[in-house]
Chains A and B, each alone.
Chain A
Amino acid sequence: MLKSGIFKNLWRNVDALVTGRGRIDDELFEEFEAALLAADVSVTTTDKILDDLREAVRLERLPDAKAVRERLRQSLTEALGEAGDTRLKVAPSGPSLYLMVGVNGVGKTTTLGKMAYRATHTDGKKVMLVAGDTFRAAAADQLAIWAQRAGCDFIRQQERSDPAAVVFDAIQAAKARDIDLILVDTAGRLHNKANLMEELRKIGRVCERELGRKPDEVLLALDATTGQNAVRQAQEFIGAVGVTGIALAKLDGTARGGIVITLREELGVPVKIVGVGEQPADIRPFVPQVFIEALLDTE
């Protein structure tokens, strides 16, 4: 699985570097550095990974470039974190509520639509999609089509209505209809717009009041092509609504999404779900080990 894994290209590069070369020299490290930077891993994380690697070469007396490469694999796994809880949380009783947040155009609605499809068809859950994006033209229509594809419940209100009110309605309806999973879409917002971030907090408060707890998951949708700004995005959304995980979208391109290593390293936020296309089934749970395996599958 994950043939289109994010690290495949990266790994292929790294692999190409070491085959036919046994020497451990500065050039080897420079080329590792270039490969990491090209994958959008931050300068800081790259430096840290390479420092670790140099240290390991010295302490563990790694014999050749091949061993260094193996050690780099280990470093990358460590940087991605322990397997940890990369699974989506489920409420002990009553409906679970997931909130999807993120900047404009990263793939919130599509990812949510695919999640609804998967939860309905693969997990057999009763799902409700909620059009909390009352701002973007036709956003609710787009989500309505996804609800139809998934064959799940759907809640919307008029354009420009208060998203918190939509969520309030949804929670009432979900309780009445015995729904397992409430998936709430929100409008894309640049994380530096204070009033829009406040709107998200309000949705969080409605959830807390009506369900007696915070949203079970607040997923930050991230475009795999995003560069270093992802760190700022994550920081701001964490500050506003407490992000619990990342939904990494659009991993089917050539972008390597190395920024998730930095996000895990610097902010401790795990990736929970991965989007790899526009079809309903194009979504995967994020499993670090599988990820690294796919990464090593360089054939």
Chain B
Amino acid sequence: MFESLAEKLQAAFDKLRGNVKLTEADIDVALKEVRTALLEADVNFRVVKDFVGRVKERALGESVLEGLNPGQQVIKFVYDEMLALLSGDAENPGQASALNFAPKPPTVIMLCGLQGAGKTTLAGKLAKLLTKQGKTPVLVACDIQRPAAVKQLQIVGEQVKTPVFAVPGGDPVRIARDAVEWAEANKADVVILDTAGRLHIDGDLMTQLQGIKSATHPHEILLVLDAMTGQDAVTVAKEFDSAIDVTGFVLTKVDGDTRGGAAISVRSVVGKPIKFVGVGEKMDALEPFYPDRMASRILGMGDVLSLIEKAQEAVDEKKAAEMEKKLRTGKFDFEDFLDQMQQMKRLGPIENLLKMIPGVGTQLKDVDFSAGEKEMAKFEAIVRSMTVSERRRPEILNGSRRKRIAAGAGVTVQQVNQTVSRFEEMRQLMKGLASGNMPGMPGMGGRMSPMSGIAKRKAGKDNKKKGGGNAGGRFKLPFGR
């Protein structure tokens, strides 16, 4: 999401690279770029002013650390300052902010925000996440304003298999209160209130929000904010906060190419944590907000930790162990491959995964991943056109079998041949790899941002902690770019 900002900052710091001593003129040149980049990233101009001032103060006051060049030193100051801003917790800057739960259920979570921020979609995502954590949520339709809003929530509720409490034409305050009672009676332990989108200057509707608040005493009041919001984000956040004292923010539509400076603005001006980010239209496209990862991402350091965590969640441990054995002995076949592909699909689009690898984000900015995904779909079509025995024993694939597969998959025989031979190459490669050395993380070599050393150390530590993680780093798929 922040690639462009990362690029800009890197360009600014390239000018400082190679210098041995940091002069005030150097700092000013770099910080001018930082200022422009932050403004273009929609960070509020007052926040930018303070931010740049603080970085300059630090850059002037401290001497360059041993082992760093002046450019790296400035990047470190910018990173530290950004981290401090995004986390608001100097002691524990990497910590994601957790949801507050009621000591005695039900927990009430109230969602509010401007029109079109993504409240209803977020309600569904939260329900799905909480269900996964063993809770029994209920969704409550408090938006009686927008046409068909209740219906939208009902459809979302069906998608995430969560009951929806709705009283068409009812009063939002009353609906919210009744929903909490309903939850108590029906043993639902989390009540998610989806309120109508409203302007922060609409007195009546803001009063209604206060009414819902005092009727239900929410444990979380989350302001849902579109990541594309510009300078006005600060006004919106301040107004909602002063009316109903929000407990945190959720940033939506982070999967776009917006730089999302609003995150920095609202965090620093209102001082409440960002708790989640929405990263897609699918119901599981919701992630906790990690300030350190976000700061790393802003500076183009990638997000190794998120990547590893995501991979681990999706890949079944036991299957992975079996797969490892198969790979080692070279017994990996097309059937296993299909299985792997299904697991990969659960990770989401390749694009999202690649963006988390340090340095890759900026470099792959203009690459169209849909081509790769298409290749993959073609490959899958070919494998699916094989019989089970063909998948298990690719060596029986003779000419007439290949012709039949080509017809079934709608490709040429050459493409089938290519797929089979690439697969065989991969199998050999795997066998070789398993018996010998394991290369490290992909994409860690070559052009890196000066901070990637730190990212690498962190990733290494994390790997160790989680028992190796990320085995088979250079897993190469049998289809090329």
Contact = CB atoms under 8 A, between A and B. Distances in A.
Given A137-B156, A145-B148, A253-B199, A104 B253 contact: yes
A138 B152 contact: yes
A142 interface: yes
A107 B231 contact: no
Interface string B226-246: 101111110110000000000
Contact of A105 (B45, B115, B155, B201): B115
Given A192-B256, A228-B230, A229-B228, A254 B146 contact: no
A223 B229 CA distance: 9
Interface in A78-120: 103-107, 110, 113
Contact of A225 (B154, B229, B281): B229
Interface in B343-380: 368, 370
Contact of A190 (B154, B233, B255, B261): B255
A250 B228 CA distance: 14
Nearest to A137: B155
Contacts of B256: 103, 190-192, 229
B230 A192 contact: no
A39 B232 CA distance: 8
A40 interface: yes
B232 A225 contact: yes
A43 B36 contact: yes
B368 A194 contact: yes
Contacts of B231: 37-40, 227, 255-256
A110 B146 CA distance: 9
A215 B120 CA distance: 32
A229 B115 contact: no
A250 B115 contact: yes
A105 B114 CA distance: 10
Contact of B114 (A144, A227, A253): A253
Contacts of B154: 138
Contact of B253 (A40, A103, A195, A259): A103
Interface string B448-479: 00000000000000000000000000000000
A227 B229 contact: yes
B111 interface: no
Given A225-B229, A229-B256, A254 B40 contact: no
A232 interface: yes
A264 B285 CA distance: 35
B114 A142 contact: no
Contact of A145 (B118, B147, B156, B200): B147
B147 A227 contact: no
Nearest to B225: A225
Nearest to B44: A38
Interface of B is mostly: loop
Interface in A121-146: 136-139, 141-142, 144-146
Given A105-B115, A225-B236, A192 B257 contact: yes
B195 interface: no
A42 to B, nearest CB: 7
A259 B115 contact: no
A14 to B, nearest CB: 15
A226 B228 CA distance: 6
A40 B115 CA distance: 19
A136 B146 CA distance: 14
A290 interface: no
B147 A229 contact: no
Given A254-B201, A259-B230, A225 B114 contact: yes
A118 B222 CA distance: 36
Contact of B146 (A43, A142, A232, A253): A142
A105 B116 contact: yes
Contact of A223 (B116, B145, B155, B255): B116
A252 interface: yes
B258 interface: yes
A229 B42 contact: yes
A173 interface: no
Interface string A183-217: 00000001110110000000000000000000000
A254 to B, nearest CB: 5
A266 interface: no
Nearest to A229: B258
B73 to A, nearest CB: 26
A103 B258 CA distance: 12
Nearest to A254: B235
Contacts of A142: 146-149, 152
A105 B200 contact: no
B262 interface: yes
B41 interface: yes
Given A40-B231, A253-B199, A227 B262 contact: yes
Given A194-B370, A252-B199, A103 B152 contact: no
Given A39-B231, A104-B116, A192-B256, A225 B226 contact: yes
Contacts of B235: 254
Contact of A250 (B40, B114, B147, B159): B114
B151 interface: yes
Contacts of B148: 138-139, 141-142, 144-145
A225 B230 contact: yes
B416 interface: no
Contact of B155 (A39, A138, A229, A255): A138
B39 interface: yes
A278 interface: yes
B119 to A, nearest CB: 9
A139 B116 CA distance: 13
Contact of A40 (B147, B226, B232): B232
Contacts of A137: 120, 151-152, 155-156, 159
A104 B370 CA distance: 20
Interface string A27-59: 000000010011110110000000000000000
Nearest to A148: B147
9 contacts: A38-B45, A42-B40, A107-B116, A137-B155, A137-B159, A191-B256, A223-B228, A227-B233, A230-B228
